Amino acid sequence: MSEQEYRHIPATGLAGQTGASAGLITCDICEALCCTHDEAATHCPVCGASLHLRHKDSLTKSLAYLVAAAILYIPANLLPVMQTNTIFGTQDDTIMSGVLVLLYTGSWPLALLVFFASIVVPLLKLFSISLLLYTCWKKSAWNPLQRTQLFRMVEAVGRWSMLDVYVVTVLVALVQFKSLAAVHPGGGALAFGAVVVLTMLSAQSFDSRLIWVAKTHE
Amino acid sequence: MKPAIKPAHQFIVCHECDLVCADVPVATGEAASCPRCRAILYRNGTASIDVALALAITSVILLLLLNSFPLLSLKVQQVTRDTTLFHAALAMWDDGMHILSLLVIITTMLAPALQISVAVYLLYVIRFGDARLALGAPLRALQTLRPWSMVEIFMLGLLVSLVKLQHMADIVIGPALWSCASLIFFTAALTSVLTPRNIWLWAHAAKASKAATGVSHV
């Protein structure tokens, strides 16, 4: 029993009315509709979560996480993520060399998967969030629907970059045969894990409602 | 001039673009989506609270199995090494990667365990307990934990490790790997059923039926 297929029915939107202009807000947590005319109502009466018409300092926070992630993206790719000691010697593997090893010894679909999850997705996330932050900061009215869809994609695929961290974890735990073969984690793995967490935090801090601000004021 | 605020449940404010939409009933198996940004506003599924509770309890059992049995065993020249999830994370710790080890423990053990326990608590309280108990805090926890629970990505990491290891040793797949695979399936089903909207619907129905029969649970 996986997720059901639903037929999608577009709801009727009240033309031009936004929650902000009507003094209505949907609680992020419990989806209860709350009225914000009451100045004191800063917390959802149903579940007690704090309510914001827009996330506080959304762009600043998101940008801060993004910059940190972008900086760490460099060591994440340059430093080795793991070190393999065998009787034949020591070998350092970076993310990219791990992909190449998979390509030569494993199968190309798997190499492609790891390449996407570890290299393409983090890079696309950095660019996409930068684009979203820039356009929202400029209050751009450019293609809000496509930008929203981009954001949805960023949120959905972001976690999958943890793949390489888990691969290293499993290899480190399993391949410990004293002098014969042993795998140790490298600094790249730490930087890489940090990039994943920071880009996730950056996406979570971003308030997608900002994409539509310019549209509303037209 | 601001429009008069109708009773709150007639509207829903899109959480992604802030458009005020009419909360119209949709038929079973249909989902209402925002006409402007196409976010799904709500779904009318057929799931009952009993189904959700069954899914949650199954997930608890699978999670316990996943954590108690070895994931993979590796055989190299009479030496066998196997690892459980926790030991894999600990191996990382022993190698000096403390932060990474914690990240693995949080995303593959702590977050899923908390997520499932909170789900069981919520459903149990609504189904058998006093629905007037505060549901807000657990619901908030559930929504916060969701992106940080990465069992499905860990599973993919296991599969990649399996391919990487197949050239160097004999691999025996442990029982925990099968639990991991089924856990992904059941938690995905649980997540799709355990929406805030469904929780409020179940809580209201439970309250109404208790009021009607006059039965009070201690």
ipTM of the complex: 0.86
The pLDDT of residue A13 is above 60: yes
In chain A, residues with a C-beta closer than 8 Å to the C-beta of B89 are 169, 173
Averaged pLDDT, B80-99:
91
Does A105 contact chain B (CB < 8 Å)?
yes
Averaged pLDDT, A139-147:
87
Contact A103, A153 (CB under 8 A): no
| A48 contacts B137? CB cut-off 8 A | yes
Which of B10, B11, B19 is best to mutate for the A interface (most A CBs within 10 A)?
B19
What whole-number distance in Å separates Cα of residue B120 and Cα of residue A129? Answer: 35
What is the distance in angstroms between the Cα of B146 and the nearest Cα belonging to chain A?
11
- Token pair listed for A135: 């356009």
What whole-number distance in Å separates Cα of residue B149 and Cα of residue B108? Answer: 6
Does B190 contact chain A (CB < 8 Å)?
no
Contact A70, A37 (CB under 8 A): no
The pLDDT of residue B2 is above 50: no
What is the distance in angstroms between the Cα of A67 and the nearest Cα belonging to chain B?
20
In chain A, residues with a C-beta closer than 8 Å to the C-beta of B161 are 166-167, 170-171, 174
What whole-number distance in Å separates Cα of residue B150 and Cα of residue A215? Answer: 36
Averaged pLDDT, A145-150:
92
Residues with Cβ within 8 Å of B214's Cβ and at least 6 positions away in sequence, in order, are none
pLDDT, tens digit, 9 for 90 and up, residues B151-162? 999 999 999 998
Which of A37, A43, A47, A112 is best to mutate for the B interface (most B CBs within 10 A)?
A47
Does B97 contact chain A (CB < 8 Å)?
yes
Averaged pLDDT, A23-35:
73
Does B156 contact chain A (CB < 8 Å)?
yes
What whole-number distance in Å separates Cα of residue A6 and Cα of residue A168? Answer: 38
- Token pair listed for A178: 């004293």
Does B170 contact chain A (CB < 8 Å)?
no
Q: Parallel, antiparallel, or unpaired: how do β-strands A7-10 and B30-33 relate?
A: parallel
In chain A, residues with a C-beta closer than 8 Å to the C-beta of B41 are 11
In chain A, residues with a C-beta closer than 8 Å to the C-beta of B170 are none
Contact A96, A81 (CB under 8 A): no
Q: What percent of chain A has pLDDT over 70?
A: 83
